Amino acid sequence: MDLLLPGITTRRVPTERLTVNVLEVEHRTDGEPVVFVHGNVSSSLFWQYAMRDLPATFRPIAVDLRGFGDTDQLPVDATRGLRDFSDDVLGLLAALELDRVHLVGWSMGGGVVLHILREHPAVVRTATLVNPVSPYGFGGTKGVDGTHLDPPGLGSGAGSANGEFVQRLATGDRTADAAVSPRSVLLSSYVKSGFTPEPDDADRWVSSMLSTRTGDDNYPGTAEVTPEWPGALPGTRGVLNTMAPTFFRVDDLDVIEPKPPIYWIRGDSDVIVSDTSLFDLAYLGKIGAVPGWPGDEVAPPQPMVSQTRHVLDRYVLAGGRYEELVISDTGHAPHIEKPKEFLATLVESITEYTD
């Protein structure tokens, strides 16, 4: 099947860092640029409906991050947090001669946008975070201020990945014959359970997931062993380790100048980025899904949504502004579950922005 919707085009753009694959809308070369950044185990293909239906006053561009989609497969240095990805996006902006853009980041892509916002705020017109990773990373922290568990990074990074899921990604499994097959994960976790996409859309999004390169330098990365429950510490290479709290922490947005407006769009039924995330080993331990959990004093569930709100509230106190926009009856991917509502929310947000 054709992975692209009618009117969506693709091209590979050489930059100083690597060659980046992008999706664009045919004949849309003018307007305020809106750059879409996908999440983990996905690609630009997830953004097509939002791109296609964006008003003509905007120029949509969706990027494939390194090791995903049709962008070059290069190693990911996790010790830099998500900076390999954010620097690649900045390199793309330079190659396209775009100096100020609306950034839209989903999940891990929200963390990429946070890095750009923190370190290069002048290039950002607006930042829209769609069910973003917590500013304190994914796993391994407690409390709204992101206090590290002991030892730091406990239960985060590549050691938290499901080995069978990784294997099924690597072999290109398109079935739904196991709970950890990519198609099953799409339908149980990327979207709210019970949402049924059109068959072509489901095939398109599974293809996007299967474009993920696997291995120590990409997804999930390397892991370290610890005697402390649950036995995993982040390694220094690969995708999941980029979001370990030992390497990724973007909690001081209050210091940046200028302070572009931030729009935080989230589904109210997200099971991935949540204060009770089914992908957080501490929460899984608490509900009995991972044996041996040592209790709330040692490894409480990470309050991901509350942490994001805490950081953004500080942004407001320092003179910035943000809006939290919740889409009801929706999971981790509102742009594919509720595309019309998502687009209306996005357009209203970035349209109200004025230089």
Per-residue pLDDT tens digits for 156-201: 999 999 999 999 999 999 999 999 999 999 999 999 999 999 999 9
**Angle subtended at Cα 173 by Cα 168 and Cα 175, rounded to the nearest 5 degrees:** 120
At residue 1, the pLDDT reads 75
> Would you mind telling me the total number of residues written for the chain in this entry?
355
- The token duo for 54 is 């964006």
Tell me what the mean pLDDT of segment 125-143 comes to: 98
Residue 90 gets the label, from left (phi > 0), alpha (psi -120 to 50) or beta, of alpha
Tell me what the mean pLDDT of segment 272-287 comes to: 98
pLDDT greater than 90 at residue 352: no
**Angle subtended at Cα 152 by Cα 161 and Cα 163, rounded to the nearest 5 degrees:** 10
At residue 355, the pLDDT reads 64
**What is the band of 245 on the pLDDT scale with cuts at 50, 70, 90?**
very high
Q: In this prediction, what percent of the chain has a pLDDT beyond 70?
A: 99
pLDDT greater than 80 at residue 316: yes
Q: Taking the model in full, what pTM does it have?
A: 0.98
Q: Which residue has the tokens 């940046």?
A: 256
pLDDT greater than 80 at residue 279: yes
At residue 354, the pLDDT reads 64
CA gap 24, 90 in Å, rounded: 17
**What is the band of 350 on the pLDDT scale with cuts at 50, 70, 90?**
very high
- The token duo for 321 is 């502004």
Tell me what the mean pLDDT of segment 128-133 comes to: 98
pLDDT greater than 80 at residue 353: no
